[in-house]
Amino acid sequence: MTDALLRLGGTLLLFVATAVAEIVGCYLPWLWLRKGGPVWLLLPAALSLALFAWLLTLHPQAAGRVYAAYGGVYIAVALGWLWAVDGIAPTRWDLVGAGIALAGMAIIVLAPRAAA
């Protein structure tokens, strides 16, 4: 494997973990507010959102670039959540959109950078 592919794979895995932490952190309060779930769901939600913020700091790139690239992965993971948790299969258009977002993420992550 080339260095670029290894970097992309590692970044992608870290972004997936970050997205899951963010989605869980938002989904649990949604369960509490919209579905009448117990208030204690707010504690793991807060912990999950803290984990989300910490995971974003593990990337070596500038914060704005990390957030931009993360957005593409978040879209794909959210559609996976839609299918796995909500039981709604993504449409062809959902998948095309996620593919475009992931292509954008790869361009941002793999772009050549001048040494700082």
Residues 6 or more apart whose Cβ sits within 8 Å of residue 104 = 69, 72
| Mean pLDDT (10-residue bins), the chain, 116 residues | 74 91 97 95 98 90 84 94 96 97 88 72
* Residues 23-48: tens digit of each pLDDT: 999 999 999 999 999 999 999 999 99
Distance CA 109, CA 56 (A): 14
Distance CA 57, CA 75 (A): 20
Phi, psi dihedrals of residue 13, rounded to the nearest 5°: -65, -40
What pTM does this model have? 0.84
pLDDT score of 115 = 62
